[in-house]
Chain A
Amino acid sequence: MRNFLAIYTKEMRSYFVSPVAYVIAGVFLFLTGYLFRNILMQFNYYCLQFSQRQQFMQGGMPNLNLNEMVVTQFFAVMDFIWLMVVPMLTMRLFSEEKKSGTIELLMTSPLSTTQILLGKFFAALSLYMTIVALTLVYCLILELYGDPDWGPIWSAYLGYLLLGGTFIGVGILASSLTENQIVAVLLAFGALLLLWLIDWSASFAGPTAAAILTYLSIIQHLQDFQRGVIDTGDVVFYLSLTFFTLFLTSRVLESRRWRR
């Protein structure tokens, strides 16, 4: 535990001592803020049109749903921004240690690979969740002027925690494979984008293959969370994918010890 904490603290310090955490949080919040504003303006426009039409139609119009038209929309763009940002959070975790030679310090210290790996994983996850939590401000703005349903919002944030774990797992695996940070970013980005779009080919595949491909899609499972459904199957999907990537990373790191 003490070793884990030492690694965790070191990584957190490194994020916040360097401009990395601030730049990533800044760029992310600027982009999401801009998109949130646009989604909100669009919703306003719809509302205006609706109220005008309601004068002609006698009560036959459904109510506009704030959750569906703003919150879900907003989450859909946030997924995509994270897909690009997470590889940048994780790229240096192992590749920088390899490049600067500090990996020799870690691997010749009385630490287990798991302690090193989990320390780094949870540091990245903490930074990710801190930034994710900051987007709650947008939902608070909705609460101020409207009446959003908080159930699906909380379940969506649970989904983001699980999604983040998976993204970071893939990012760490990519980082452990190379000492070049740009290669690490590209590998992680490519792998995540593939997992994102993998269900596209489901339309052209046989029924069994289609089911598998759809299941593998990393984003399909998030949509349940955003609708307010917490399905054990989705939770298991994210947790097992996270565990699998971390297991592969530990194999990559350990291979140095048994590769003769």
Chain B
Amino acid sequence: MIEVRELSKQYGDVTAVDGVTFKAESGQITGFLGPNGAGKTTTMRMLTCFLPPSSGTATVDGFDTAEASLEVRRRIGYLPELPPLYHDMTVESYLDFVAKIKGVPSPQLRSRLDETMEKTAITHVARTVIGQLSKGYKQRVGLAQALVHNPPVLILDEPTVGLDPKQIIEIRETIKSLRGDHTIILSTHILPEVSMTCDKIVIINNGRIVGEGSPESLTAQLREGEVLRAQVVGAKDEVEAMLAGIPGVVDVQREDSGPADAYLVTTAPGQNVRDPLAKAVVDGGFGLRELRSMDMSLEDVFLQLTNEDSAEV
């Protein structure tokens, strides 16, 4: 549905996006994950024809953003980071205006407005002036604005930024309910968001893609070995030396932040060290309080990938 090839954008000497290539399958939600300033917004602006790429191409539904800009713009709904709202208009008149400039035919206008407002749960504020709405409602009006012409492609730039936890859940649910009917690309720097809503994740840092795949495969791909957290009572140096001596253990680190005597034990891939570890602890006369596996969260993956990348630079 959306195909991006070697897309780059330079602002003077600064390269904001550097040879980005990815695909977004139709009906799926693709998450664009990266720290602030990674190039997410610039990439989205190029996809929506707001900015021209310095090099490379992007196609939406087979139409090139540079050559068939009008066709692309007919097919996308775009929610920029700052929702493009006219604060002196009422919700309904604003959506009516957007529907008209997006080319919704007059006979369908009324039903599109009603349907969109219902989907985004803003029907009861239809006659309220946008400037008087809360942040959460403004965001919903922004989402409604992107949806009003029922576009096949939705591009949402940080749709949950600045909302309270309840509002975030509501917006996420709304976005999830759109899966299947629309191809969605959303950007965020919040990890749980992508793992909860997206079918596919593209991790971007310093303008380059540093990881791509489903949430599960990304985590698996980066899991080099298991990390065990062992809580052992005993003299710290002795315990550390004992743990490091167990075959299959790659690294032992004392957990500083934890409450007491916890060690993070990294194992070599494919090795089971739990049983030898338990035995060694007991044999050494220490007390084993807890032993559990630390699953590598998407957060770790993200940090690892973005750190590796900046280390290269």
A residues sitting closer than 8 Å to B (CB atoms) are: 2-3, 6-7, 9-10, 13-14, 17-18, 100-112, 256-260
A-facing residues in B73-100 (Cβ within 8 Å): 73-74, 76, 78, 80, 82-89, 93, 97-98, 100
Closest to B94 in A: A10
Q: From residue B87, how far is it (CB to closest CB) to chain A in Å? A: 7
A sample of 29 cross-chain residue pairs with beta-carbon separation below 8 angstroms, ordered by A number, consists of: A2-B100, A3-B100, A3-B101, A6-B97, A6-B101, A10-B89, A13-B93, A14-B86, A17-B88, A17-B89, A101-B83, A102-B84, A103-B84, A104-B84, A108-B48, A108-B73, A108-B76, A108-B78, A109-B98, A109-B102, A110-B70, A110-B73, A110-B74, A110-B101, A110-B103, A256-B52, A257-B69, A258-B52, A260-B52
Q: From residue A116, how far is it (CB to closest CB) to chain B in Å? A: 9
A-facing residues in B103-158 (Cβ within 8 Å): 103, 145
Count of B interface residues, CB-CB < 8 Å: 32
Contacts A101-B80, A104-B84, A109-B73: A256 and B50 contacting too (C-beta < 8 A)? Answer: yes
A17: chain B residues within 8 A (beta carbon):
88-89
Q: Are B86 and A102 in contact (CB under 8 A)?
A: yes
Contacts A108-B49, A256-B50: A6 and B73 contacting too (C-beta < 8 A)? Answer: no
Q: Are A100 and B87 in contact (CB under 8 A)?
A: yes
Q: Are B80 and A104 in contact (CB under 8 A)?
A: yes
Q: From residue B283, how far is it (CB to closest CB) to chain A in Å? A: 66
B88: chain A residues within 8 A (beta carbon):
14, 17-18
Residue with the greatest number of chain A CB neighbours at <10 A, chosen from B10, B54, B69, B100: B100
Is B51 in contact with chain A by the CB < 8 A criterion?
A: yes
Contacts A111-B101, A260-B52, A260-B54: A105 and B69 contacting too (C-beta < 8 A)? Answer: no
Is B53 in contact with chain A by the CB < 8 A criterion?
A: yes
A258: chain B residues within 8 A (beta carbon):
52
Residue with the greatest number of chain B CB neighbours at <10 A, chosen from A10, A17, A100: A10
Distance, CA A103 to CA B86, complexed state (A): 11
**Among A6, A101, A103, A257, contact of B100 (Cβ-Cβ < 8 Å):** A6
Q: From residue B307, how far is it (CB to closest CB) to chain A in Å? A: 32
A-B contact sample (12 more), CB < 8 A, given A105-B78, A110-B70 = A14-B88, A100-B82, A100-B84, A100-B85, A100-B86, A102-B85, A108-B50, A109-B73, A109-B98, A110-B73, A110-B102, A260-B54
* B interface, over-half SS: loop
Q: From residue A8, how far is it (CB to closest CB) to chain B in Å? A: 11
Distance, CA A247 to CA B155, complexed state (A): 32
Q: Are B73 and A105 in contact (CB under 8 A)?
A: no
Distance, CA A70 to CA B80, complexed state (A): 55
Distance, CA A14 to CA B10, complexed state (A): 36
B69: chain A residues within 8 A (beta carbon):
257
**Among A18, A105, A107, A259, contact of B98 (Cβ-Cβ < 8 Å):** A105
**Among A18, A100, A105, A111, contact of B145 (Cβ-Cβ < 8 Å):** A105
Distance, CA A105 to CA B148, complexed state (A): 13
Q: From residue B27, how far is it (CB to closest CB) to chain A in Å? A: 22
Q: Are B97 and A10 in contact (CB under 8 A)?
A: yes
Closest to B105 in A: A2
B49: chain A residues within 8 A (beta carbon):
107-108, 257
A101: chain B residues within 8 A (beta carbon):
80, 82-84
Q: Are B50 and A107 in contact (CB under 8 A)?
A: yes
Q: From residue B141, how far is it (CB to closest CB) to chain A in Å? A: 12
Distance, CA A3 to CA B100, complexed state (A): 7
Distance, CA A103 to CA B50, complexed state (A): 9
B80: chain A residues within 8 A (beta carbon):
101, 104-105
Closest to B129 in A: A17
Distance, CA A102 to CA B94, complexed state (A): 12
Distance, CA A109 to CA B70, complexed state (A): 8
Q: Are B86 and A109 in contact (CB under 8 A)?
A: no
Q: Are A257 and B52 in contact (CB under 8 A)?
A: yes
A13: chain B residues within 8 A (beta carbon):
89, 93
Distance, CA A103 to CA B101, complexed state (A): 13
A-facing residues in B8-66 (Cβ within 8 Å): 10, 45, 48-54
Closest to B73 in A: A110
Distance, CA A224 to CA B227, complexed state (A): 89
Distance, CA A257 to CA B67, complexed state (A): 11
Q: From residue B66, how far is it (CB to closest CB) to chain A in Å? A: 9
B85: chain A residues within 8 A (beta carbon):
100, 102
Q: From residue B232, how far is it (CB to closest CB) to chain A in Å? A: 56
Closest to A97 in B: B84
Distance, CA A13 to CA B49, complexed state (A): 28
A111: chain B residues within 8 A (beta carbon):
101
Closest to A14 in B: B88
Q: Are A7 and B84 in contact (CB under 8 A)?
A: no
A259: chain B residues within 8 A (beta carbon):
52
Q: Are B84 and A105 in contact (CB under 8 A)?
A: yes
Q: Are A106 and B82 in contact (CB under 8 A)?
A: no
Distance, CA A108 to CA B98, complexed state (A): 11
Q: From residue B63, how far is it (CB to closest CB) to chain A in Å? A: 12
A256: chain B residues within 8 A (beta carbon):
50-52
